[in-house]
Amino acid sequence: MQILKFYDGSVNSRHIDAMADALRRGDIVIYPTDSLYALGCDALNQRAIERLCRLKGLNPDKNLLSIVCADISQAAEYARIDNRAFRILRQYLPGPFTFILPASTKLPKVFKGRKTVGVRIPHNRIAVSLADALGAPLLTASVNPPAEAPGSIADPDALSLAYSNDVAVLADGGIGHTEPSTIVDITDSSAPVVLRQGLGQFEE
């Protein structure tokens, strides 16, 4: 595993480019968000998605799959966003939220069994810079803390040990958070539903 350090929230463009290259090769990376550290891969690479799902223990037919996007414009290529949903996204993003939206047909076949996709635009420059440099969203899933050390979920040094055999690159953005994003279902944008309360406070 290659460990790339980012200092004081700054974005090192060479590190971002190196991580984007790894994503294009189909590798899995770990990067910070504004909530938990996350596993990520190219959301348009079917084989990489299957690897990440195995690593995380996700069943694409049953579990929500989420993507990290650089901005709302990129998100609109992969999710159907009506006017009301757009206003909600503008109000709350970037931020620690996952918004469930109807999926577009541009996503790979692993999404085809599901009609929805979770959309994240974290308030974290590393995360959004990765999606921007890749030119595509990242399939994203929060890291699993080792059972014997649950607090290590926020510690990049511990994560580098836990995932040393499975992840190509880790972006070390310092100690992270231990609380996940808030999940809000806006597939019916006139009646948002908070499915999981996390870091973000949603009021509609």
Q: pLDDT tens digit string along 133-169?
A: 999 999 999 998 655 555 578 899 999 988 989 999 9
**Per residue in 60-100, pLDDT tens?**
888 889 999 999 999 999 999 999 999 999 999 999 999 99
CA–CA separation, 98 vs 24, rounded Å?
24
CA–CA separation, 197 vs 179, rounded Å?
10
pTM for this model (two decimals): 0.93
Q: CA torsion, points 44, 6, 31, 129, in degrees to nearest 10?
A: -30
pLDDT for residue 60: 80
Q: Please, is 72 exposed, middle or buried when counting C-beta atoms within 10 Å of its C-beta (0-12, 13-18, 19+)?
A: middle
Q: How confident is the model at residue 101 (pLDDT cuts 50, 70, 90)?
A: very high
CA–CA separation, 118 vs 102, rounded Å?
9
